[in-house]
A and B are shown apart, each in its own frame.
Chain A
């Protein structure tokens, strides 16, 4: 029937700008949530070296590693899209905003993500 692309465009968002805005908010909320967990973890560590070692052992769990890689992706997307927004806001290259999104946030973002995620992944797989 109706192609998914047209459905999405008609009922959700016509153009890429809304997607970028939406992603920025979703990743922002996820990062706020992460900050909560992070401060909580640091608090836990104040319980002493035994608690620290236990926590570190828990974080070696492959699920945690996967989440960490996910976190890296979220941070990169939010940061690079944020830079793109700043560039547009300060009046530079507004004509190129779509190219900025695809180039900066997506391509550069993917490259940085791979650069960060591969060592993390190898580390968890090799167990070193």
Chain B
């Protein structure tokens, strides 16, 4: 099939423009395959990121016809529009063409103390987490975050304010606060409860859930925090 692909080009000097390419290819090709084909046969100067090519690393995030998605997981047949428009992820600084810097994402990520602060770091005992515990019951499906930044790019609140932590950071905090081995609950709850940056800036637009390539229900994690901060001062253990 013949597909017209428009790629947003920029040189980091602030100027951006669409450049179009026509690709004759089979429909099962992914957007990432198409980018490689264009780079190899038509224009070696286009810049884009990728790594694993199978949806595990989260590196190839970009905006496909206005929707943040992973290039390696989106087949050309999945795109209903006649033409394909590829743009860099919004809410991030564009380095060049489709390559963005995820710095702001990880800035917010670090604010929630994402590392486990273990109760006993010197312990030689294996941590046992019973299947009936709150952690075991509430976290399947929440641990798969690959920090691709798609949720950050899709969030309408982040479009207006860079102070909001973002769904991925809050979800990470959710995992840590529930974890019985962790001791940094108070610090995390403080930033999560902040009026500017924390969970209260989420207005359940649920774009994050719509774009997450791992199918994590991010709004559910954020919502659980809101309800618990309301009723039990943030204590998530039932």
| Chains A, B in direct contact (C-beta < 8 Å) | yes
Question: B residues within 8 A CB of A46?
Answer: none
Is A9 in contact with B206, judged by CB distance below 8 angstroms? no
Range, interface on chain A = 20 to 34
Closest chain-A Cβ to B233's Cβ sits at a distance in Å of: 18
Question: A residues within 8 A CB of B224?
Answer: 91
Give the number of residue pairs across the A-B interface with Cβ within 8 Å: 83
Count of B residues near A, CB < 8 Å? Answer: 30
Is B66 in contact with A8, judged by CB distance below 8 angstroms? yes
Is A15 in contact with B220, judged by CB distance below 8 angstroms? no
Which residue of B63, B65, B205, B217 contacts A94 across the interface (Cβ within 8 Å)?
Answer: B217
A18 within 8 A of B: yes
Chain A contact residues, majority secondary structure: helix
B143 within 8 A of A: no
B180 within 8 A of A: no
Closest B residue to A3 by beta carbon equals B81
Instruction: Tell me the residues in window 189-238 of chain B with beta carbons closer than 8 Å to chain A beta carbons.
Output: 203-207, 209-211, 217, 219-220, 223-224, 226-227
Which residue of A10, A22, A88 contacts B206 across the interface (Cβ within 8 Å)?
Answer: A88
Interface residues of A (CB under 8 A from B): 2-3, 5-10, 13-15, 17-18, 20-22, 85, 88-91, 94-95, 97-98
